[in-house]
Amino acid sequence: MERPRILEVERLAVELPKAADRVHAVEDVSLHVDSGEIVCVVGESGSGKSVTAYSVMGLLPPGQLTPVAGSIRLEGEELLGAKPRRLRELRGDRMAMVFQEPMTALNPVVRCGDQIDEVLRLHTRLDRKERHARILDILAQVHLPDPKRIAAAFPHQLSGGQRQRIMIAMALVLEPALLICDEPTTALDVTTQAQILRLVRELQEAHGTGVLFITHDFGVVAEIAHRVVVMEKGRIVESGTTEAILTRPQEPYTRMLIDAVPTLEPRPPLERGGTKVLSTERLEKTYQTGGFFRRGTAVHAVKGVDLRVDAGEIVGIVGESGSGKSTVARCIARLIEPTGGIVRLKDADLAQLKGRALRRHRRRVQIIFQDPYRSLNPRRTIGASLIEGPINYGETAEAAMAKARELLGFVGVDPNAIDRYPHQFSGGQRQRICIARALILEPELLIADEAVSALDVSVQAQVLRLLETIRERLGLAVLFITHDLRVAAQVCDRILVMRSGEVVETGPTAEVFAAPKHPYTKELFDAAPGRSWQFAKLAS
Amino acid sequence: MSAAARPGLLRAVLAHGSVQVGGFILLVIALLGIFAPWISPLDPAFLDPTIRNRLPGFESTVLQPDGTLLTVTHWLGTDQLGRDLFTRVLYGARVSLIVGLTVAVIAVALGLVIGLIAGYVRWLDGAFMRVMDGLMAIPPILLALALVALWGAGLTTVIIAVAIPEVPRVVRLVRAVVLSVREEPYVEAAISLGTPTPLILTRHVLPNTVAPLIVQGTYVCASAILVEAILSFLGVGIPTDIPTWGNIMAEGRLLFRVFPHNILFPGVLLALTVLAVNMMGDGMRDTLDPKLARRV
């Protein structure tokens, strides 16, 4: 049976502002979405996948991005060149969008129910009572518990996943023909992500909606898509059914992207033999809030964590946001002061050191952060950033500079670029520079706090390989914080699973992956998107 | 330094229309003040009781020290003691600009130091900010009255009296910037690289405060010029023997209905100066801090 075509994009081209590095944000993009179908647009950052979605909604920033050629038809109606008034009518009614950031996509000062009500008021002639019934009905459909309470709640009273459900409810309340999801699960935890994906799929089946789903994650693609469109630098490189693209990718770029997705298959265990570098005993961190006039409350971010990292070993801490994994890392790096316990680095206890005594030990523990764009001072050349550490510890500028060049070469950045500023490098290059900055002090322990989470998969794979090399060549002890099980499986020798400040399970990666004991660990594994696909196996 | 991060920033500031107009007006007023002795042959304190309260354009002859007679045109007329208003207004520009500039520099410098410490050293924050709250509660005119009563009228007294209430505003601004920048990963990276706190503050935090401080500085400057004029007008600012716009207006106040020029011209110049400084501030804010510009 032929299904009605909902969206048809033909030879779309969108022009970038003059100063950009290429002429078109997207060029010659043709795709279509049929009723009851989920089409995933996959690509790395800068591939033009979001621009395509925004073009359909007519939400491109005016004056900066202008569609210059092609056509976009929604149920046969041309959208390019349509009057703003007509577009407003169509938005919400015939097409709707769910955005990436559920924290900012909702108006913080309006109750959730009223925000959905606004859509109904603008597009329908229902009276108050009918609208209220519809709101409660749609909230129940997105599986929010106690719709009455949720409708009366302000966004900040809800969790990220709940907010995203509200967004989806708002998008679907008028039963649009087309739903556009722009990375709707990227900002969410894996377990929440799995629920939201299930929800999108379920609602789409129930209502026969056509879904255009933008993502960078092939795991999500495997989980949800009927058809896949792969984009690179503004062009479509390949499209086809999910089955075909994932098992028989034709284009080298698609193959590279799929290969770069880490497997859930854990790495073979390492023979032990390194000396103990770091151990913590009953590490505690409690945040005190409140003050002179208010009664204080205490938040236990970390509760009695014991861990151990040997030389030449990568130990992973896996957990969702709020699990306390980053707090552990920051306590060990002494960016914050632990409230209790011991942080033993070889012979010294760093936990309660202060001032000068602490500064002496600083160089022994170095940390790499998540956001490569904010980890380097934008006003200083990377050379100046690199030699800051050695100069703090009494090296001459010349000696430090020589070392910096050598290390830049080691991490795969052109040493001649040492006088450039951070904005002249890509995200992956910046992360390499951050790694070089950490290594230049010859630390005994390297902490990677979500160090690859902000990177595209292909770049992520390269940085992970670099970390491997560092571990092998320098015999460093590495503490690897991540929320991503695939990444953990690839690089970690042992993992700790954290939840609400506690370690719920620990052991060699292979063992934990083969037979997770704690129910929470099992839940995490079940939530990993696309776990049924053996991604890297494909490569061979 | 910031030009490296955002190339062409200085050029962008200079290309902004209101910066150009404000800067031009300010430059003209500053040059008039600086070159006052060369522009006007008269002494601002020179009085001639025979030509009191003459309207603009009046001509008179003046006996010079070397015995020759000089014909001068009183472009803006004379005041009630027969002093040349044009000359007095020129010299008045000096006081206004000195007060504006000095107050801005003092308030920004003090505010910067206190703000950096309050923002970065968390345990000092509470105490520092409560003191600042206290300072903000003092009305500048009242403070000036008290200081004049204590130390006597004078330029220094006025500058201190005007600068003190401005400091807390700068402190709050700097502290807010520091609070957001100290969470930046590059600052945390510097901490783990063992960089001493004073270096972190000057190297990584301070440059971020420069742009908003320049903008805030212009607002402080404009308000200082205005407050100085108000204080002088009320007779609690600069001593009456020094020509300032406030003093000139205060003296012209009694005969304002008959001879409005005594108040009009210094008033216009005062308004122009404040307007010019504010225009520069607005223009710089637009280019240096686009986020703030959109919000207002």
> Whole-angstrom Cα distance, residue A142 to residue A137?
9
Residue B293 domain-assigned? no
| Among the partner residues A370, A375, A389, nearest to B186 by beta-carbon distance | A375
Nearest C-alpha neighbor of B78 from the set B100, B56, B60: B56
Residue B27 domain-assigned? yes
Q: What share of chain A is helix, strand, coil (3-state, %, to 5)?
A: 40, 25, 35
CB of B137 within 8 Å of a chain A CB? The answer is no
> Whole-angstrom Cα distance, residue B51 to residue B47?
9
Beta bridge partners of A318: A482, A497
> Whole-angstrom Cα distance, residue A272 to residue B158?
75
Which amino acid, residue A360? R
CB contact under 8 A, A389 and B194: yes
Q: What is the pTM for the complete model shown?
A: 0.82
Nearest C-alpha neighbor of A446 from the set A427, A469, A462, A426: A469
> Whole-angstrom Cα distance, residue A513 to residue B215?
57
More confident residue, A411 or A104: A411
> Whole-angstrom Cα distance, residue A322 to residue A299?
11
Residue B56 domain-assigned? no
Q: Which of A92-96, A149-153, A508-512, A527-531 has the lowest mean pLDDT?
A: A527-531
Chain A residues in contact with B194 (beta carbon < 8 A): 359, 362-363, 389, 392-393, 441
Structural contact between residues A494 and A316, judged by C-beta atoms closer than 8 angstroms? yes
Percent of chain B with pLDDT over 90: 42
pLDDT at B1: 38
3-class SS of residue A60: coil
DSSP string, A198-260: HHHHHHHHHHT-EEEEEES-HHHHHHH-SEEEEEETTEEEEEEEHHHHHHS--SHHHHHHHHH
CB contact under 8 A, B193 and A388: yes
Residues across chain A: 540
Residue B72 domain-assigned? no
CB contact under 8 A, B194 and A362: yes
* A464: its two tokens: 């992970």
pLDDT at B79: 85
Helix axis angle for A382-392 and A397-411, nearest 10°, is 120
Which amino acid, residue B37? P
Which amino acid, residue A254? T
CB of B294 within 8 Å of a chain A CB? The answer is no
Nearest C-alpha neighbor of B151 from the set B143, B263, A9: B143
- The H or E element that residue B147 is part of is helix B140-151
Q: How confident is the model at residue A540 (pLDDT cuts 50, 70, 90)?
A: very low
Q: Which of A388, A403, A421, A450 to mutate to test the interface with B (most CBs of B within 10 A)?
A: A388
- Nearby residues of A390 by Cβ (< 8 Å), 6 or more positions away: A399, A400, A403, A440, A441
The range of the structural domain enclosing residue B240 comes to 3-41+84-288
Q: How far is B2 from chain A (nearest CA, A)?
A: 6
pLDDT at B4: 41
Question: What is the number of domains present in chain B?
Answer: 1
What distances in angstroms separate CA A326 from CA A18, A335, A512, one per listed residue? 41, 11, 21
Sign, CA dihedral A423-A426-A427-A433, equals negative
* A389: its two tokens: 């550490």
Q: How far is B41 from chain A (nearest CA, A)?
A: 51
Q: How confident is the model at residue A212 (pLDDT cuts 50, 70, 90)?
A: very high
DSSP string, A432-483: HHHHHHHHTT--SEEEEESTTTTS-HHHHHHHHHHHHHHHHHH--EEEEEES
CATH of the domain at B181: 1.10.3720.10
Give the single-character DSSP code of A292.
S
Residue B225 domain-assigned? yes
pLDDT at B294: 44
Structural contact between residues B36 and B7, judged by C-beta atoms closer than 8 angstroms? no
> Whole-angstrom Cα distance, residue A489 to residue A476?
19
Q: Which of A289-298, A388-397, B244-253 has the lowest mean pLDDT?
A: A289-298
Mean per-residue pLDDT of chain A:
88
Mean pLDDT of A368-392: 91
Residue linked to tokens 């950490």: A438
Interface list for chain A against chain B, based on CB atoms closer than 8 Å: 333-335, 359, 362-363, 365-367, 369-371, 374-380, 385, 388-389, 392-393, 421, 423, 434, 437, 441
Sign, CA dihedral A147-A152-A157-A159, equals positive
Asked if the interface predicted TM-score (ipTM) of this complex is over 0.95, the answer is no
Alpha helices in B35-84 (DSSP H): 36-39
- The H or E element that residue B62 is part of is strand B58-63
Which amino acid, residue A361? H
Residue linked to tokens 């708002």: A170
Residue B59 domain-assigned? no
Asked if the model's pLDDT at residue A538 lies above 50, the reply is: no
Q: What values do phi and psi take at A198, rounded to 5?
A: -60, -40
Q: How confident is the model at residue A290 (pLDDT cuts 50, 70, 90)?
A: low
> Whole-angstrom Cα distance, residue A361 to residue A334?
10
Task: Count CB-CB contacts under 10 A for residue A124.
Answer: 14
Tens of pLDDT, residue by residue, chain B (296 residues): 343 445 567 788 888 888 999 999 999 999 999 998 888 888 888 888 888 888 888 888 887 778 788 888 888 888 888 888 899 999 999 999 999 999 999 999 999 999 999 998 888 998 999 999 998 888 878 888 888 889 888 889 989 988 998 999 999 999 999 998 988 899 999 999 999 989 999 999 998 898 889 889 999 999 999 999 998 898 888 888 889 999 999 988 888 888 888 889 999 999 999 999 999 988 888 887 665 544 33
pLDDT at A62: 81
Beta bridge partners of B69: B63
Task: Count CB-CB contacts under 10 A for residue B142.
Answer: 11
Beta bridge partners of A39: A212, A227
CB of B1 within 8 Å of a chain A CB? The answer is yes
pLDDT at A226: 93
pLDDT at A334: 92
CB contact under 8 A, A370 and B185: yes
CB contact under 8 A, A377 and B186: yes
Q: How confident is the model at residue A271 (pLDDT cuts 50, 70, 90)?
A: low
> Whole-angstrom Cα distance, residue A327 to residue A300?
11
Residue B51 domain-assigned? no
Sign, CA dihedral A44-A70-A80-A72, equals negative
Alpha helices in A292-449 (DSSP H): 325-332, 355-362, 382-392, 397-411, 427-439
CB contact under 8 A, B190 and A388: yes
pLDDT at B226: 92
> Whole-angstrom Cα distance, residue B223 to residue A108?
36
Which amino acid, residue A227? R
pLDDT at A270: 66
Half-sphere exposure of B19 (CA within 13 A, CB side): 17
Q: Which of B122, B129, B183, B186 to mutate to test the interface with A (most CBs of A within 10 A)?
A: B186
Pairing of strands A298-310, A276-288: antiparallel
pLDDT at A400: 94
- Nearby residues of B146 by Cβ (< 8 Å), 6 or more positions away: none
pLDDT tens readout for residues A3-48: 888 999 999 999 888 777 778 889 999 999 999 899 999 988 888 8
Residue linked to tokens 């992970």: A464
Structural contact between residues A275 and A310, judged by C-beta atoms closer than 8 angstroms? yes
Percent of chain A with pLDDT over 70: 96
> Whole-angstrom Cα distance, residue B217 to residue A482?
45
* A384: its two tokens: 């100046």
Asked if the model's pLDDT at residue A294 lies above 70, the reply is: no
Structural contact between residues A386 and A399, judged by C-beta atoms closer than 8 angstroms? no
